[in-house]
Amino acid sequence: MKLLYNARIYTLDRSAPRAEALVIEGERILAVGGADLIDQVDARAEKHDLGGGTVLPGLTDAHMHVHQYALGLKKVDCETATLAACLERVGERALATPPGQWILGHGWAQNDWPDLPSEGEGFPTAAELDAATSDHPVYLTAKSLHAGWINSAAMRLAGISSSTADPVDGRILHDAAGAPTGILLEAAMGLVNGALPQYTVADVADAVERAQPLLWQMGLTGLHDFDQRTCFMALQTLHQSGRLGLRVTKSVPVDLLPHAHALGLRSGFGDDLLRIGSVKVFMDGALGPRTAAMFQPYLNEPENRGILNMDGEALFEIGCQAAEVGLSVAVHAIGDRANHEVLNAFEQLRTHEHELGLPALRHRIEHVQVLHPVDRPRLAALKIIASMQPIHAISDMSAADRFWGKRSRYAYAWKTQRNHGARLAFGSDAPVESPNPFWGLHAAVTRRRPDGTPAPEGWYPAERVTMRTALEAYTVGPAYAAGVEDRLGRLKPGLLADLVVLRKDPFTCPSDDLLSLASSATMLSGEWVWQAP
């Protein structure tokens, strides 16, 4: 038995929102109360004086790519202020890498580079990478994960030439002479996969295990993962060997739905550490490469409305197949047209579920970045979870204004969704953004960048939410989305003892202090998995 006391405890349990002490027996919370609870505890209990710190339920990132995040920790960090700085980092890595070996990187965002040449449809080109190194194949993924940038050596290894056809739902950019520029959009990124270094299940498992302490330091005790089969196998390897220290809800890629359906796999299968989530479907692209599917063209690009991977009818068919075995559906939708088609499909699916006597599954839209006015209340009406990433707004605000214009007023509009009654589940989309939930909380409550802009009230400040709403979206919301709200998300008797201890109180500290908040201790299932030195 453990007694945690001398703390400001925010339980997020509306019947008893504040406490000063907490008793844990085994994996679960036994009691929560005031200072008088201390005298009621068995004298043999382990006593942990938290020194007046703040205790929150363990935080969950509701949208993450843990495989890519973990492996990405060793990649070139391409999230730079200029193209020149990115190329300098590539050149530095080349000096430390034997010729012929791949250089991998992530994080470039061409919309933020003031020194980008005018040619290339607003993207960098292979020529720039060739100047940084011609002795190594280079593959750099964009911050959005919806575009790839390769050099000439990589193009040769991947067999990409002027005669290579665009794949379905993808595009290879070409210059005026018809030669590929080195930029691959959406499904075209897959053309490189066969040439890239291949990671084994053991490689991924080791990388994820090494990443876990970093996530614990951020206050995370759980995540919803949207990576592929290798990641699932790696997570199972960690779990079976007792090395998995995060609660993971694992999605099923849509291309594996027929197999999941044949097996009768359903959402929620598993245990409290590793369980099946939703079938993941991509409806469109992203804002950064201007492939998000829009009703109206991108500003100054009259022919570009993005890429719509399928219409609502096709998604409805996928949803029916998933629902038959009890699998919920999670759909990536960025643009207003993509979200509209998804909502149309979910409307049909709700009717289908009812007619067949099926349960109303916990379907979700991932990102919900911009909605047509008629669609703003529809997530709540259809009981669709709004899985959103507040930190995206901070990175994307300039690009959103530049490419979407006035449509940005209801982009990243988590307050609007909350007001309509939709359930919020917040995440990061790491490695697209940092998985640090306190950066996400700062974005949610301020709508400002770390440098304070736009001051003083933030970007479209009407979409700011309270700290309680934001915290619930990192705790209660993900628990509900995963179907474990009876075990996680709050600090109350009977629930699993997942919590984080902070030296500052996020409810009372200046909002900018959120950016430097970190866990001083993180607990999973009643055991400390991280304690600051």
Quote the pLDDT of residue 119. Answer: 67
Same domain, 53 and 101: no
Quote the pLDDT of residue 121. Answer: 74
Q: Residue 31 burial by CB count (10 A; 0-12/13-18/19+): exposed, middle or buried?
A: middle
In a domain, 525, yes or no: yes
Quote the pLDDT of residue 27. Answer: 97
Cα atoms in the 13 Å half-sphere on the side-chain side of 476: 16
Mean predicted lDDT score pLDDT of the chain: 96
The residues near 471 (Cβ < 8 Å, ≥ 6 apart) are: 10, 12, 56, 441, 506
Tell which of 195, 224, 252 closes a domain: 195
Quote the pLDDT of residue 120. Answer: 60
Tell which of 144, 165, 195 closes a domain: 195
Range list of β-strands (E), 410-487: 424-426
* Tens of pLDDT, residues 201-254: 999 999 999 999 999 999 999 999 999 999 999 999 999 999 999 999 999 999
In a domain, 500, yes or no: yes
Same domain, 128 and 74: yes
Q: Average pLDDT in the 419-438 region?
A: 97
Question: Could you tell me the CATH number of the domain that includes residue 82?
Answer: 3.10.310.70
Quote the pLDDT of residue 215. Answer: 98
- 292, 338 in Cβ contact below 8 A? yes
pLDDT surpasses 90 at 118: no
Same domain, 54 and 71: no
In a domain, 303, yes or no: no
Same domain, 167 and 75: yes
C-alpha–C-alpha distance, residues 415 and 494, integer Å: 31
pLDDT surpasses 90 at 315: yes
In a domain, 295, yes or no: no
Structure tokens at 364: 């979700």
44 band by pLDDT with thresholds 50, 70 and 90 = confident
180 band by pLDDT with thresholds 50, 70 and 90 = very high
Quote the pLDDT of residue 477. Answer: 98
pLDDT surpasses 80 at 172: yes
In a domain, 235, yes or no: no
Same domain, 72 and 184: yes
Q: How many structural domains comprise the chain? A: 2
Give whole-number Cα distances, 452 to 81, 436, 440, in Å: 17, 18, 15
C-alpha–C-alpha distance, residues 370 and 334, integer Å: 6
C-alpha–C-alpha distance, residues 240 and 232, integer Å: 12
pLDDT surpasses 90 at 41: no
In a domain, 18, yes or no: yes
CA 115, 297, 170 angle in degrees (round to 5)?
Answer: 75
What are the beta bridge partners of residue 55? 9, 501
Question: Could you tell me the CATH number of the domain that includes residue 498?
Answer: 2.30.40.10
In a domain, 102, yes or no: yes
DSSP 203-248: HHHHHHHHHHHHHHHTTEEEEEE---HHHHHHHHHHHHTT---SEE
Q: Average pLDDT in the 283-305 region?
A: 96
- Specify the length of the chain in residues: 533
Same domain, 94 and 186: yes
Tell which of 195, 211, 241 closes a domain: 195
In a domain, 383, yes or no: no
Same domain, 96 and 30: no
C-alpha–C-alpha distance, residues 377 and 382, integer Å: 9
- 94, 129 in Cβ contact below 8 A? no
Same domain, 141 and 189: yes
Give whole-number Cα distances, 521 to 25, 42, 50, 268, 491, in Å: 18, 24, 10, 29, 16
Same domain, 71 and 190: yes
Quote the pLDDT of residue 527. Answer: 97
Same domain, 31 and 95: no
pTM of the model: 0.92
Same domain, 5 and 90: no
Q: Is the dihedral of CA 94, 100, 101, 105 positive or negative?
A: positive
Express as a percent the part of the chain with pLDDT over 70: 99
What range does the domain containing 514 cover?
1-58+489-533
Same domain, 107 and 148: yes
Quote the pLDDT of residue 389. Answer: 98
* Tens of pLDDT, residues 503-530: 999 999 999 999 999 999 999 999 999 9
- 218, 435 in Cβ contact below 8 A? yes
* Tens of pLDDT, residues 27-39: 999 999 998 898 8
pLDDT surpasses 70 at 256: yes
